[in-house]
Amino acid sequence: MRKILTLILISLVAGCASTTKETTKVEVVEEYRGPEKLNFVVPKGWGVAHQAQNDSGAILELISKNENLESWSRMVTIQTFKNPEQYEPERFILSMAELAKKQCATVEIHEVRNDFQNGHPFSQKVISCLGKNGTTSKETMNIKAIKGKDSFYVAQVSYKVGIDKKEAYYWAIYLRDVVATKS
């Protein structure tokens, strides 16, 4: 696990080139836009499993097209929150880790990076949860939180299976490339 996390950190710090895993660029649906938007891609072969919106924000959950919400192995979650002044990237992720501690027998938090991207502060951490809800299951969440000028954004890659170095690299680059930009 530490080798994969080290690979994620090295990949992000080095500003690596694009990956070989195919992706499909998508336009974010109109509800997710303001004067700025969050740029991200839907991995090839993936689709929308769930999306919702209310007065405080929106959520979009993506999974492989051959999986479902009840039994997914990997998931990408994109969240947008209005009123970004209410949130700080690192504090937000640490609050997610605190929630995980209530559900998991063991929780590990690994720092990836706290920095600025396109002029926006962001934090990225990996949270590993072992023994969720009294089981022997494991879930790992690689989370990037971005404080935009108009919204607060969270991009999260979660997996319930072990991943190899190549896939860890892919997801590291994937999250590195999720950025808030002007529309």
> For residue 61, what are the domain limits?
2-182
pLDDT tier at 21 (50, 70, 90 boundaries)? very low
How far is it, in rounded angstroms, from Cα 145 to Cα 56? 16
Query: What pLDDT does residue 119 have?
Result: 92
Secondary structure of the chain: what % helix, strand, coil (to 5)? 25, 45, 30
How far is it, in rounded angstroms, from Cα 120 to Cα 10? 21
Better-scored residue on pLDDT, 131 or 71: 71
Mean pLDDT, rounded, for 29-51? 81
Whether residue 117 has pLDDT greater than 80: yes
Number of structural domains in the chain: 1
Task: Look up the pTM and report it.
Answer: 0.80
The CATH number of whichever domain residue 13 belongs to comes to 3.40.1000.10
Query: What pLDDT does residue 34 have?
Result: 58
Both tokens of 30, joined, read: 């109109």
Query: What pLDDT does residue 65 have?
Result: 95
Q: How far is CA 149 from CA 34, 81, 138, 146, in A?
A: 10, 11, 35, 10
Query: What pLDDT does residue 32 have?
Result: 44
Summarize pLDDT for 135-181 with one digit per residue, the tens. 778 899 999 999 999 999 999 999 999 889 999 899 999 999 999 99
Summarize pLDDT for 72-101 with one digit per residue, the tens. 999 999 999 999 999 999 999 999 999 999
